[in-house]
């Protein structure tokens, strides 16, 4: 047997993308499948894993006429990726049977030696070829799909799932964030006409499929646990995790109890300082007292008490006093340096209809979606002792101001006396 396959530069680049986007930890990724169709002359690659799998028709070649109507060959995906990554603009692949009957794969167009013997075929690759042939797809405008997906990725972050609405004029999307579901509006009147559940991996695949194609339409099939995207020469399937819980979840309704602007650096420094004290760190809990337009941050242990006052700006509150308890360690990922104007950071306290509180922070670049949130627990039973800490701190600060004032007055007197002596 002797067969030669020629890949043009465009197909070489596309095959590289398919190999690089696959899940390399999956056992079936380690091989690729090569299908040769003697009747049509088509040459097809199947690469990837059960998570992301693709079929790419690369064109025609010089096929051995003694072969069966369809022949299948398989080899290591890492060898193929190594060969494709060569600076050569095109690639020739030759299949020959040696004296023992083994099929040898060589690459004569390369300036280096790369060869290997074909191996056993992965059943999952053959099953995939049959499954995608049976899948019926519906055509959609490719640019519309790409624009919507990129808008979702931009406006709905952070998210775990996003459900595109299939209804006419449906600019509303269902978003799951930190396990909770919200309904949000996209800044568009574009309508795709398909209900599509997206996660970050699916969005990445759609972006890759659409950007690499010059076709105007794309076929989509939404199956049980997978989405298939079909173009003329390429089919890519991406498995999606079970999102039945997400689809059945009722939208979380939250009311904003307090909104304000604070110094994010100062809050992070105060909480970071608490964690460095062993007794406080062991307690894990800190208290946030919102009182008369200020935030009092407190922490207590058996032998230590801490309290700090943070000034707030533009406070809007539906409650006079609110005491919340929060786990100190949840703030370890709070990165104010990732936001602009961090010394004037927008924040809010929200309350769900189930009575759960949340402390959220927003960047100026995305004031609608919090970049960091921590759950809180209402702690009215500790109100008196935390207010007592606040009172002690206020008394201490007033005493300091009096000392500073007296000191300034003494300096003024000294200065005036020196003038009299002159």
CATH number for 232: 3.10.150.10
In a domain, 45, yes or no: yes
- Least confident among 266-275, 313-322, 359-368: 359-368
pLDDT band at 422 (very low <50, low <70, confident <90, very high): very low
- Least confident among 188-202, 300-314, 346-360: 188-202
Position with higher pLDDT, 21 vs 2: 2
* Peptide linkage before 28 cis (omega within 30 of 0): no
In a domain, 91, yes or no: yes
* 7 and 129 belong to one structural domain: yes
Report the pLDDT value the prediction gives residue 421, as an integer from 0 to 100: 41
Report the pLDDT value the prediction gives residue 236, as an integer from 0 to 100: 92
* 319 and 209 belong to one structural domain: no
* pLDDT one-digit tens code per residue, 215-241: 999 999 988 888 999 998 899 998 877
In a domain, 270, yes or no: yes
In whole angstroms, give the CA distance from residue 266 to residue 263: 5
* 128 and 144 belong to one structural domain: no
* 226 and 151 belong to one structural domain: yes
Q: Is 45's pLDDT higher than 90?
A: yes
Report the pLDDT value the prediction gives residue 225, as an integer from 0 to 100: 80
In a domain, 315, yes or no: yes
Report the pLDDT value the prediction gives residue 85, as an integer from 0 to 100: 80
The tokens of 310 are what?
A: 């943070």
CA–CA distance from 123 to each of 127, 190, 295 (Å)? 6, 41, 62
* 11 and 109 belong to one structural domain: yes
CA–CA distance from 24 to each of 19, 21, 40, 81, 124 (Å)? 9, 8, 32, 12, 15
The tokens of 40 are what?
A: 């049509």
Report the pLDDT value the prediction gives residue 77, as an integer from 0 to 100: 87
Q: Which residues, 6 or more positions from 387, have their beta carbon under 8 angstroms from its beta carbon?
A: 289, 291
Beta-sheet strands, E only, within 211-291: 217-222, 226-230, 234-239, 254-262, 285-291
* 25 and 145 belong to one structural domain: no
Report the pLDDT value the prediction gives residue 328, as an integer from 0 to 100: 84
Domain membership of residue 288 as a residue range: 254-386
**Mean pLDDT of all residues in the chain?**
83
Beta-sheet strands, E only, within 189-320: 196-198, 217-222, 226-230, 234-239, 254-262, 285-291, 294-300, 305-311, 313-317
Give percent of the chain with pLDDT exceeding 70. Answer: 91
Task: Please state the separation of Cα 109 from the chain's center in Å.
Answer: 41
In whole angstroms, give the CA distance from residue 223 to residue 205: 16
* 216 and 272 belong to one structural domain: no
* 285 and 341 belong to one structural domain: yes
Report the pLDDT value the prediction gives residue 88, as an integer from 0 to 100: 64
Q: Give the 3-state secondary structure percentages of the chain, helix then strand then coil, rounded to 5.
A: 35, 35, 30
* pLDDT one-digit tens code per residue, 156-215: 888 888 988 766 455 678 888 877 888 888 888 777 778 888 888 889 889 988 888 889
Strand 305-311 versus strand 161-164 pairing type: unpaired
Using CA of residue 169, residue 247, residue 204, residue 215, what is the dihedral sign? negative
In whole angstroms, give the CA distance from residue 354 to residue 255: 11
Report the pLDDT value the prediction gives residue 419, as an integer from 0 to 100: 37
Position with higher pLDDT, 45 vs 405: 45
CA–CA distance from 414 to each of 146, 401, 405 (Å)? 75, 20, 14
pLDDT band at 312 (very low <50, low <70, confident <90, very high): very high
Report the pLDDT value the prediction gives residue 416, as an integer from 0 to 100: 43
7: number of Cβ within 10 Å? 25
Residue 317 and residue 290 in contact, taking contact as beta carbons nearer than 8 Å:
yes
Residue 312 and residue 294 in contact, taking contact as beta carbons nearer than 8 Å:
yes
Which residue, 248, 275, 294, sits at the end of a domain? 248
Give me the mean pLDDT over the 348-371 stretch: 85
* pLDDT one-digit tens code per residue, 64-117: 777 888 889 998 888 888 888 876 678 889 999 888 889 999 999 888 899 999
Give me the mean pLDDT over the 288-305 stretch: 90
Which residue, 134, 168, 197, sits at the end of a domain? 134
Which residue, 214, 248, 282, sits at the end of a domain? 248
* 130 and 142 belong to one structural domain: no
* 151 and 94 belong to one structural domain: no
Q: Is 331's pLDDT higher than 90?
A: no
* pLDDT one-digit tens code per residue, 13-31: 888 888 887 777 777 778 8
Beta-sheet strands, E only, within 153-280: 161-164, 172-177, 180-185, 196-198, 217-222, 226-230, 234-239, 254-262
Report the pLDDT value the prediction gives residue 408, as an integer from 0 to 100: 54
In a domain, 420, yes or no: no
In whole angstroms, give the CA distance from residue 185 to residue 156: 9
Residue 375 and residue 365 in contact, taking contact as beta carbons nearer than 8 Å:
no
Strand 180-185 versus strand 196-198 pairing type: unpaired
* H-state helical runs in 287-382: none
Report the pLDDT value the prediction gives residue 388, as an integer from 0 to 100: 92
In a domain, 279, yes or no: yes
In a domain, 361, yes or no: yes
User: Which of 254, 251, 2, 248 shows the shortest CA–CA distance to 103?
Assistant: 2
Report the pLDDT value the prediction gives residue 235, as an integer from 0 to 100: 92
Number of domains in the chain: 3
* 28 and 130 belong to one structural domain: yes
* 127 and 174 belong to one structural domain: no
Please tell me what DSSP assigns to residue 371.
S
CA–CA distance from 204 to each of 288, 356, 381, 400, 416 (Å)? 40, 34, 48, 58, 74
* pLDDT one-digit tens code per residue, 259-293: 999 998 888 888 888 888 888 888 888 899 999 88
In a domain, 409, yes or no: no
Give me the mean pLDDT over the 343-347 stretch: 86
pLDDT band at 407 (very low <50, low <70, confident <90, very high): low
CA–CA distance from 102 to each of 70, 78, 409 (Å)? 18, 20, 100
């Amino acid at each position: 047997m002797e067969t030669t396959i020629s890949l043009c530069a465009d197909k070489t680049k596309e095959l590289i993308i398919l190999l690089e986007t696959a899940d390399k930890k999956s056992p079936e990724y380690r091989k690729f499948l090569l299908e040769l169709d003697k009747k049509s002359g088509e040459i097809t690659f199947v690469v990837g894993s059960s998570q992301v799998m693709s079929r790419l028709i690369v064109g025609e070649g010089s096929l051995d006429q003694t072969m069966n109507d369809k022949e299948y060959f398989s080899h290591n995906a890492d060898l193929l990726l190594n060969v494709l990554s060569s600076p050569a603009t095109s690639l020739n692949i030759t299949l020959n049977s040696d004296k023992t009957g083994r099929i040898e794969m060589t690459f004569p167009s390369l300036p280096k030696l790369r060869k290997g013997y074909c191996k056993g075929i992965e059943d999952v690759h053959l099953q995939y070829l049959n499954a995608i042939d049976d899948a019926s797809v519906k055509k959609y405008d490719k640019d519309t799909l790409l624009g919507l997906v990129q808008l979702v990725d931009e406006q709905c972050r952070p998210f775990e799932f996003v459900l595109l609405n299939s209804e006419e004029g449906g600019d509303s999307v269902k978003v799951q964030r930190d396990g909770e579901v919200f309904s949000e509006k996209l800044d568009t009147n574009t309508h795709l006409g398909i209900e599509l559940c997206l996660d970050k991996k699916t969005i990445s695949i759609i972006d890759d499929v659409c950007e690499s194609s010059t076709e105007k339409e794309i076929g989509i099939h939404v199956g049980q646990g997978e989405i298939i995207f079909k173009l003329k020469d390429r089919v890519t399937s991406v498995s999606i995790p079970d999102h039945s819980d997400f689809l059945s979840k009722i939208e979380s309704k939250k009311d904003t109890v307090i909104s304000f602007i604070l110094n994010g650096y100062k809050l992070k420094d105060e909480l970071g300082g608490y964690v460095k004290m062993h007794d406080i760190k062991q307690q894990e809990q800190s208290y946030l007292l919102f009182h008369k337009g200020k935030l009092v941050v407190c922490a207590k242990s058996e032998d230590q008490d801490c309290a700090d006052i943070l000034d707030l700006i533009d406070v809007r509150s539906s409650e006079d006093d609110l005491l919340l308890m929060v786990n100190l360690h949840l703030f370890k990922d709070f990165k104010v340096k990732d936001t602009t104007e961090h010394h004037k950071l927008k924040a809010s306290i929200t309350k769900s209809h189930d009575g759960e509180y949340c402390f959220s922070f927003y960047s100026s670049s995305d004031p609608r979606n919090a970049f960091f949130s921590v759950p809180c627990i209402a702690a009215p039973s500790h109100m008196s002792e935390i207010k007592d800490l606040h009172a002690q701190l206020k008394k201490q600060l007033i005493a300091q101001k009096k000392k500073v004032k007296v000191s300034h007055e003494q300096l003024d007197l000294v200065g005036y006396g020196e003038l009299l002596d002159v």
